[in-house]
Structure 1
Amino acid sequence: MAQVLFLGGFGRSGTTLVERLLGELPGVCALGEVVHLWQRDIRDDERCGCGDRFSGCDFWRRVGDQAFDGWANVDVARVHQLRDAVERTRHIPRLASASTASGEVREYASYYARVYAAAAEVSGARLVIDSSKHSALAHVLRWADDVDLRVVHVVRDARGVAYSWTKTVSRPESDGADQMTRYSPGRSALLWNAHNAAFGLLARRGVPVRRIRYEEFLADPRAGLLELAGFAGLPLSDADLHFLRGGHADLRAGHSAAGNPMRFTVGRLTLRRDDAWVRAFPRSQRRLVGAVCGPLLRAYGYPISIVPEV
């Protein structure tokens, strides 16, 4: 049975950073956002985190051979059809309330289960990480056969998230030709509420869920990694955290299938909070997001009133 740690939350909340650090631990295989594997990698042949095209990456070739006897045998159109039928935010109430899973849910989950099992086999890892973030996918995966699912719910202050979604960021996979999605502050506030609340529903269905705050994790990444390793049942020693040195981490190349541009970072990565939003986010927009997300901000321990330092 594949042991899977699913990193969930709303985009721009720090899941890629958490994944990169977890991926440095012994016995861990970090796969990136597997939810995008079918389109961006199998079909579009975008770059793996190691820098090679997906089709040229030996790791992913071996995973495909192990899981499907070759990626050519994956019916991407069928995977997308299943995704549209079951893995959408609007389907979460039905997924969360169901006592049994439909055939489509189980079929869709089986594609992921085969990838996880193959990645564990090829890498020799005892723990596989999927940083897909999507709350609906996490609800689907609770029905996956042969998957020991544990979920890390990563939350970040909604105002910092909303500010990040207003930025223009190029997708490295497209060599600068395409940009990552942008949301208005109001839109991102609504999505922040919906996606984060969905993980509370998942916990009520018996799935082990551990919530961490991005800001606290960055303040003490060593303690944060020890906590997450314990949650995942992964034994660690201080020597296993040798890549953490003061305020930075030394990262090796990984095989992240898709995700934030940080997945291509190799070498020294400075670990610091991105709090530019406190000053740069217009006050009216900051207040709007704070009002919309107020109940969950309070529940997660964030202050409602933010006063920028002079």
Structure 2
Amino acid sequence: MAQVLFLGGLGRSGTTLVERLLGELPGICALGEVVHLWQRDLRDDERCGCGSRFSGCTFWQRVGERAFGGWANVDVDRVHTLRDGVERTRHIPRLASAAQPAAQVREYASYYSRVYAAAAEVSGAKLVVDSSKHSALAHVLRAAGDIDLRVVHVVRDARGVAYSWTKRVARPETDGADEMTRYSPGRSALLWNAHNAAFGLLARRGVPVRRIRYEEFLADPRAAIIRLADFAGLAPRPEDLEFLRPGYADLRVGHSAAGNPMRFTVGRLPLRHDDAWMRALPPAQRRLVGAMCGPMLRAYGYPLNPQEAR
């Protein structure tokens, strides 16, 4: 049975950073956002975190061989059909309430469980990390009887998330030809509420969920990584954490299938609290997001007056 740590939350909340640091620990294989593997990698042949095209990455080709007898045997159209039918935010109430998951849910989950098991076998890791983020996918994975699922719910101040979604960010996988998706502050606030609430619902359905705040994670990354490793059933030794230094981390090459451009970083990665939103997000937009997300911001311990967050 594959042991899976699923990193969830709304995009721009820090899941890629958490994934990269966890991926430095012995016994962990970080896979990136597996939810995008079917289109961006199998269809579009984008670059792996190692820099190679997916079709040229030895690690992922070995995973495909173990999981499916080769990636050519995966019916991507079928995967997309299943995704559209079951893995949508609007389906979460049905996914959460079902005593027995539907056949389509089980079939869709099986594609992921086969990837996880193959990645663990190829890498020799005890635990694989999927930073797909999507709350609906986390609910789908409950239906996979052959994975030991644990979820890390990464939360960031909704106003910081909203500001991040307004920025233009080039996608290195496409050599700068495309940009990452952008949302208005109002739209990101709606998504922030929906996705975070969905992870609370997942915890009430019996899935082990550990919530971490991005800001607290950056305040003491070493302590945070130790706590997450313990949640995942691992016990890193002091020497396993030598890649973490005051203010930065030293990263090796990884094999993230998709995700934030940070997945391509090798070498020194600065670890600093990003509070640019306090200055750069216009006051009207800051108030809008604060009003829309106020109840959950308070529940997560965030001050509604951003000056108190300093």
What TM-score, normalized by structure 2, do the two folds share?
A: 0.99
- Conserved in 2, the CA contact under 8 Å of 1:278 and 1:308? no
Give the Cα–Cα distance (whole angstroms) in 1 for the partners of residues 257 and 195 of structure 2: 22
Q: Which residue of 2 aligns with 1:226?
A: 226
Q: Which residue of 1 aligns with 2:70?
A: 70
Uncovered stretches (5+) of structure 1, i.e. residues with no partner = none
Q: Which residue of 2 aligns with 1:269?
A: 269
Shift of 1:160: 0.1
Give the Cα–Cα distance (whole angstroms) in 2 for the partners of residues 33 and 97 of structure 1: 26
Shift of 1:307: 2.8
For residues 1-310 of structure 1, the aligned pairs below 5 Å read 1-307=1-307
Supply the AA of the counterpart residue of 1:226.
I
Shift of 1:309: 10
Supply the AA of the counterpart residue of 2:189.
A
Give the Cα–Cα distance (whole angstroms) in 2 for the partners of residues 19 and 143 of structure 1: 24
Aligned residues: 310
The percent identity for this pair of structures is: 82
Q: What is the SS of the residue equivalent to 2:11?
A: coil
Uncovered stretches (5+) of structure 2, i.e. residues with no partner = none
Supply the AA of the counterpart residue of 1:209.
V
Give the Cα–Cα distance (whole angstroms) in 1 for the partners of residues 296 and 99 of structure 2: 27
Q: Which runs of 4+ in 1 moved over 3 A?
A: none
- Conserved in 1, the CA contact under 8 Å of 2:302 and 2:309? no
Give the Cα–Cα distance (whole angstroms) in 2 for the partners of residues 91 and 308 of structure 1: 37
Q: Deviations over 1:60-107 (max 9, x none)?
A: 000000000000000000000000000000001111111110000000
Give the Cα–Cα distance (whole angstroms) in 1 for the partners of residues 309 and 124 of structure 2: 49
Give the Cα–Cα distance (whole angstroms) in 2 for the partners of residues 156 and 41 of structure 1: 28
- Conserved in 2, the CA contact under 8 Å of 1:279 and 1:308? no
Give the Cα–Cα distance (whole angstroms) in 1 for the partners of residues 218 and 238 of structure 2: 18
Supply the AA of the counterpart residue of 2:114.
R
Q: Deviations over 1:172-221 (max 9, x none)?
A: 01111101100000000000000000000000000000000000000000
CA RMSD of aligned residues (A): 1.1
Q: What is the SS of the residue equivalent to 2:307?
A: coil
